[in-house]
């Protein structure tokens, strides 16, 4: 949902880069989990927050000084799944795509979705490829998440259908 980019002020506030479509959406969730780069998570309660340009400024219960906030820099922010509204018809949470088999129009399985990342222009689907021909190293596929390449996201069927060709 976001990432802590810096501390803000002397009272333990955090400056957060939101990854949500609506930049202020993080402020609607009272419970946050902060996840470090090793996957360890700690839960915090949001006590106060506001928008500051493109960033969210937030105060968390138990974080009261600048040094405590600075120690949280780089942590990812998640919220409990049950707190999220169900996706609208035709929408999908990117996290629900992780693990889907990627199948092209020719019926070839290209690999498995390992992540979907926002890079500015459009999200990009990261695909761990199936084994390549002997002697070739399999390289990660990066498929833009746009209508030109994504035919269907079928979470119930466990697949992502794409207009993409195998490189090998």
Following DSSP, what letter does each residue of 81-109 receive, concatenated? GGGSPPPPTT---GGGGTTPEEEETTS-E
- At 23 the pLDDT is 87
C-alpha pair distances (Å), 91 with each of 17, 132, 163: 23, 32, 19
- At 110 the pLDDT is 94
User: Of 48, 83, 118, at which residue does a domain stop?
Assistant: 83
- At 168 the pLDDT is 60
- At 135 the pLDDT is 55
- At 21 the pLDDT is 76
- Nearest one of 156, 133, 143 to 112, comparing CA atoms: 143
| H or E, element range at 47 | strand 41-52
Residues 69 and 98 in one domain: no
Q: 69: helix, coil or strand?
A: helix
Domain-embedded: residue 167: no
Q: Residue 148, CB half-sphere, CA atoms under 13 Å: how many?
A: 5
User: Of 83, 103, 123, at which residue does a domain stop?
Assistant: 83
Domain-embedded: residue 89: no
CATH of the domain at 65: 2.40.30.60
Residues 156 and 102 in one domain: yes
Residues 102 and 72 in one domain: no
Domain-embedded: residue 74: yes
Structural domains in the chain (count):
2
Taking only the tens of pLDDT, the chain with its 168 residues reads 899 999 999 999 999 999 887 889 999 999 999 999 888 999 999 999 999 999 999 999 999 999 999 999 999 999 888 888 888 888 888 889 999 999 999 999 999 999 888 777 789 999 999 765 565 667 899 999 999 999 999 999 999 999 998 776
Global pTM?
0.68
Residue 138, token pair as written in the block: 């399999």
Looking up tokens 């996840």, which residue turns up? 35
CATH of the domain at 117: 2.30.30.240
- At 133 the pLDDT is 54
Domain-embedded: residue 63: yes
Residues 158 and 101 in one domain: yes
102: containing domain: 94-162
């Amino acid at each position: 949902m976001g990432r802590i980019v810096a501390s803000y002020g002397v009272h333990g506030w955090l400056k957060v880069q939101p990854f949500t479509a609506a930049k202020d959406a993080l402020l609607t969730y009272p419970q946050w989990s902060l996840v470090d780069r090793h996957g360890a998570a700690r839960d915090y309660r949001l006590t106060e927050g506001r928008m500051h340009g493109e960033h969210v400024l937030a105060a968390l219960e138990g974080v009261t000084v600048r040094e405590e906030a600075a120690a949280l820099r780089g942590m990812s922010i998640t919220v409990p799944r049950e707190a999220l509204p169900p996706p609208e018809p035709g929408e999908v949470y990117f996290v629900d795509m992780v693990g889907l088999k990627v199948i092209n129009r020719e019926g070839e399985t290209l690999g498995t979705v390992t992540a979907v990342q926002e890079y500015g222009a459009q999200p990009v689907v990261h695909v761990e490829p199936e084994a390549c021909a002997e002697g070739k190293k399999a390289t990660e596929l990066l498929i833009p998440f746009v209508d030109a390449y994504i035919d269907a996201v079928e979470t119930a069927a466990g697949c992502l259908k794409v207009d993409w060709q195998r490189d090998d």
